Structure 1
Amino acid sequence: MAGPAGLTPGDAGDPAGRATILDVAAAAGVSRQTVTRAMNGMEGISAATKKRVLAAAEALAYRPSRFGRGLVLGGEQQLGLIVDDLRNPYSPALAAAVVRAAAGRGWNVMLADIALTGDADRMVEALGVQTDAVVGYFGKRAPEWIALLGSVPVVELDPSGPVTGAAVHLDPGDAVERLVEHLLAAGVRHPVVLDAAGPDLPSRRATRMRAAFADRGLHVAVEPVAEPTAERAAAATERLLRQDPRPDAVLAFNDVMALGVLAACRRAGVDVPGEVRVVGVDGLPLGALVAPALTTLEVDVDEVARQALDLAVGMVAGRTPRSGADAERTVRHRLLLRESA
């Protein structure tokens, strides 16, 4: 790459030893103004020059200064939040918790919904340009999207694969054990897990539930549902209620699906919890408003947001490593017993 030999980040005067815009300009053999144009997607430079500048920036782990970017984005630091489908009430609940936590630290939040956008890659890449750190649900595409974000600190929420950086894990293990003990003590003998269909079946939640029953000598059927929606879950429940033996407990992948189970049971004249016990996961406030009130494995989204912000702010400030045990936190679900079980 063109530029003076021996140049290292910080040679241009950054007291923290971070790469500066002058470092990138020297490495790419261009002017400071050209770096600014390339980093901000402005016109006036060729595609080849832009590519060379971005490659130099990536090699030096360069992040645009808050002073320069503040002319466009404002002086406060920006947090990118990636959610998976705002139509699921869990996503806006999490987003609200993140906004509250971020506001308490003087950060703004930029939201990206990877399920509803037509070009998720472009949206993720844009967050990398416009934010100081990114948190959210990356799913199976975590490796490629984290690569798109470049040097931006990233905190994965509930990672579905190997963790390459910082993460907040959601652990339902203890809550599942308590739930299974409760259901067996109540006489459940034919439970079914309604699982959200995906590239890897069964899901980790379904696997954990099935294992907890198996440890106690009871086989559990796992019924995949094409989409994690109330409508799909209701249709699957209608089929299950026609089986012999009929399930006496339905454990849904999330609360939204559990609401669909409740609706199907009501239409079929099946008493809940007298004939079938119903359980969800997430702890949505809506679950307390239906009749019967929904038993669920609740996760504290405010705690998830606090842990994620703590990691993100720590990484930006250089206090927290970007990977390893010190860059991972765990938030545990709790069993919230209500009328449906």
Structure 2
Amino acid sequence: MASIKDVAAAAGVSVATVSRVLNDHPSVSADARTRVLAAVDVLGYRPNAVARSLRTDQTHTLGLVISDVLNPYFAELARSVEEEARALGYSVIIGNADERPDLQDHHVRTLLDRRIDGLLVSPTDGGSPLMLDAARAGTPMVFVDRWIPGVDVPVVRADGRAAIRDLVAHLYGLGHRRLAIIAGPAATTTGSERVEAFRAAMAEYGLPLPDAYTGQGDFQAESGRRVTEGFLDLPEPPEVVFAADNLMALGALDAVRARGLRVPDDLALAAFDDIPWFVHTDPPVTVLAQPTGELGRAAVRALVDRIEGRPPESVTLAARLVVRRSCGEPALHEPSPATNRSQP
């Protein structure tokens, strides 16, 4: 493998001149630059990325800390982040927080120690001192999907409030009046926002949301199963359960089927976040779908803007209601199968 000394010898210049050419320094003459680039091409020389990062203070590497890599939503988000980063000349190192603040901070610390150029985070809660310190220290950072209120960091997210209002209107139009929610963790912005939006939409239609119809989940399937079992044990169970994420919706489905009941005949079900196999369940699940692919791409663009000295902007996209048949809808309303991936 050719070295920088080999390039210098072939071009008839010093090692320092080769280094200046590779780092696009303006002090090199046009003739020397041409000879160096020709030698690089002939010898197939590739700079050592680690050594170069020590000189330029850039690694062209981004860190991504996601809440749960097993959640299909975050898996799709990570894929779109990696694709967009690669298109812009960056690599991505991914850390899975598994919805644990301690594991989240471990990944953030490790990524910062590895001299990443910038950090994308979907926070597991709003109280991480490490993340707050990193933001205040000027670390290029973007929050994606979730955010920490009061921290001056660009946020790329989907606003689900209008879609939740559309869902409640849809359910009301179908004749449902007893609606329940499996909420996400209150410590996360998405968890608190979705339950507040659901409560506000219910109030618009004069529908009560009693405490018994508000179950606390953790964005994991087991909590969806547990909360749904509690709903089914009530003297007057709800007619519809709205799960505030896809994994909790899968847990709710398990609970219904474990009792020999059927969706939507015995309990209707709707979910926040679409996943590819929701169109293949029986019946297909009515969902609020986020533009996951575009969220990931927009987050990378905002972070690269911050890294490269351009003013980054927060981005808010809209979730949308996708009507299928899990809430008692007529079959004629069912759309063609679609996935969560939005088109570029």
**TM-score, L = length of structure 2:** 0.71
Map Cα deviations across residues 92-129 of structure 1 (whole Å, 9 max, x no partner): 22111111111121210011122369654342123224
Which amino acid in structure 1 is aligned with residue 222 of structure 2?
E
Q: How far apart, CA to CA, are the structure 2 residues paired with 1:159 and 1:177?
A: 22
2:291 pairs, out of 300, 303, 309, with 300
Moved more, 205-214 or 123-132: 123-132
Report the identity percentage.
28
Give 1:68 deviation, angstroms.
4.4
Tell me: CA distance 1:73–1:272, structure 2 relative to 1, closer, same or farther (3 Å). Answer: farther
Task: Give secondary structure in 2 for the equivalent of 1:111.
Answer: strand
Using structure 1 for the length normalisation, give the TM-score.
Answer: 0.72
Deviations 1:188-221 (A, max 9, x none): 1110011124447972111101110111100124
Is the counterpart of residue 277 in structure 1 residue 234 in structure 2? no
Q: Indicate which of 306, 320, 332 corresponds to 2:318.
A: 332
1:254 is aligned to 2:245: yes
Letter paired with 2:105:
D
Matched with 2:164 is: 176
Structure-2 residue corresponding to 1:156: 143
C-alpha contact (below 8 Å) 1:67/1:75 kept by paired residues: no
Task: Tell me if structure 1 keeps the 8 A contact 2:241–2:268.
Answer: yes
Deviates more, 1:153-162 or 1:217-226: 217-226
Give how far 1:72 is off: 11
1:262-292: CA deviations, max 9, x gaps?
2222222333123322011111223223222
Report deviation, 1:169: 2.7
**Contact 1:125–1:148 at 8 Å: present in 2 too?**
no
Alpha-carbon distance between aligned partners in 1 of 2:102 and 2:148, rounded to the nearest angstrom: 23
The whole-number CA distance in structure 1 between the counterparts of 2:215 and 2:52 is: 47
Aligned counterpart, 1:11? none
CA contact (8 A) 1:133 1:316 kept: yes
What residue identity is the alignment partner of 1:80?
A: G
Pick one of 84, 99, 117 that aligns with 1:132: 117
State whether structure 2 residue 187 is matched by structure 1 residue 196. no
Over aligned residue pairs, what C-alpha RMSD do you find? 2.7
Classify 1:318/1:71 alpha carbon distance in 2 versus 1 (closer, same or farther; 3 Å): closer
Offset from partner CA, 1:221-268 (integer Å, 9 cap, x none): 443335322222112212211212221000011011111112222222
Map residues 1-341 of structure 1 onto 2, 5 A cutoff: 68-70=51-53, 77-115=60-98, 119-129=103-113, 130-138=115-123, 139-141=125-127, 144-148=130-134, 150-157=137-144, 158-199=146-187, 203-221=192-210, 222-321=213-312, 327-341=313-327
CA radius of gyration, larger in: 2
Structure 2's unaligned 5+ residue stretches are 1-48, 328-344
Letter of the structure 2 residue corresponding to residue 257 of structure 1:
M
